Chains A and B, each alone.
Chain A
C-alpha cells in the first residue's frame, strides 16, 4: 500500500508534526476486503448494504407482519413512512394508476434512505449509495420498469411515440426534437438518476470527512485546537445538513421514478 493509499482516518498525524494534512480523496471510498470468496472481495460497503437491508426488513416486518387495526407505536411510525410514499408520492404524482407501483416506490425510498443514512451512523459513517454500483442498480431497475410500462401500455409504436415524439408541436421541430427526446428519456434519465444520487452522497461524504479529519489533524497544540473548534462545529452543522440531504435525495429518487412511470402511463391515449 503506497503512502497515497492510506485511508484518511487511519493516520495519526497532527498539525506542526512535519507531516502533511491527509486530505480525503478517492481512496477514502475504498476499503480493504473483510474476507474474500473466490474473486469476490467482501468489504465494508457490502456489509453495510446487507445490514441496512436487514434493518429495513426487521423494522417493517415487526411493524407490518401482524398489523393491528389499532396500531402500536412501531406500526404507527411505519405506517407514517408508508403513507408518505403512498399518498405523498404515488397518489400525488400518478393518481389512482400509481397504486400498482407503490411497492416499488416504497422499496426504493426506504432502501435509498437507509443506505444514505449510514453516512452519519457512528462506526458505519459511510453512505452505501456513494458506491456507484448501488445507485446504478436502482436506476437500472427503474429504467427496466419504465420501459416495460411504456411499451406495455402503448404497444411498440405507441411506446416509441411516447418516448420520442411529444405531441402538439409543428412538424419541422420533430426533426430536432425526436432525437433529443430519445436521448433524454431513454439514455440520460437512468444516467442522471444514478449520478444525482451518487454525486450527492459522494460529495456529502467528502465534506464530512474533510471537516472531521481537519478537526483531528489540528488537535494537539493550543493554536491548532483553536482552529479545530470551528472545523468541528462545521462538521456538526454539515452532519445535520447531510441528514436533510439524505432524506431529500431518497425523496427525489422516488419522485422522479413516479414521474417517469406516470409519463409512461398517461400518454397512452
Chain B
C-alpha cells in the first residue's frame, strides 16, 4: 500500500495525496455547514418539531376533554330524562288513584242521593197513600152511609158507632190488600 502511495506520489498531483488548498476549502465548507446546522438550523427545527408535537398532544387532550364533557352532558340528560319519566309515572299513578277515589266518592254520593231520592219517593208514596186511603175511607164511608141510608131509608143515628164499623171493615180490607203491597215496592227498586 505504501509502495502504491509512493508510486502515485512520484507523479505530481497524485490523486492519493490531498492537495492542501482543497483540504482548506473542505474544512472551511464543512465547518460552515456544521456551524449553521449546530447553531441555528437544527435548534430552530427542533423547537418547531417540539411545538408540533405539543400542539398535536394538546389537540388530543382537548378532544378528550370535549368528549368527556359530552359524555357528562349525555349522562346528565339521561338522568334528567329518567327523572322526568319517573315523575310522569308517579303523576299518572297519582291521577289514577285520585280518579279512582273520585269515582268511588261519586259513586257513593250517587248511591246516597239515589237512596235519598228513593226514600223520599217512598215517604211521598206512603203519604200519598195515606192521604188517598183517608180520602177513600171517607168517601167509602160517605158512599156506604149514603147507600145504606138509601137502602134503609133513614140515616143512622149513632154516627160514631157507624164510623167504627166502617173503620173495622176497611182495616180488614187493608189487611187483605197489604200482602201484595211490599212485593210491589221490592220490584220497583
Contact = CB atoms under 8 A, between A and B. Distances in A.
Interface in A14-49: 26, 29-30, 40-42, 45-46, 49
Interface of A: 26, 29-30, 40-42, 45-46, 49-50, 52-53, 56-57, 60-61, 63-70, 78-79, 82, 102-104, 106-107, 110-111, 130-134, 136-138, 141, 202
Contacts of B30: 107, 111, 137-138, 141
Contact of B22 (A46, A61, A110): A46
A111 B55 contact: no
Contacts of A69: 48, 51-52, 55
B147 to A, nearest CB: 134
A57 B36 CA distance: 8
Interface in B4-32: 11, 13-27, 29-30, 32
Interface residues of B, number: 35
Given A26-B14, A107-B38, 12 more contacts: A46-B21, A49-B25, A63-B45, A64-B40, A66-B44, A68-B48, A69-B52, A79-B49, A133-B22, A133-B23, A134-B22, A136-B23
A134 B36 contact: no
B37 A103 contact: yes
Contact of A52 (B29, B34, B48, B55): B29
A102 B17 CA distance: 30
A56 B33 contact: yes
Contact of B21 (A41, A60, A67, A68): A41
9 contacts: A26-B15, A41-B21, A42-B21, A45-B22, A60-B36, A107-B38, A111-B30, A141-B30, A202-B15
Given A53-B32, A69-B51, A132 B18 contact: yes
A238 B184 CA distance: 134
B42 interface: yes
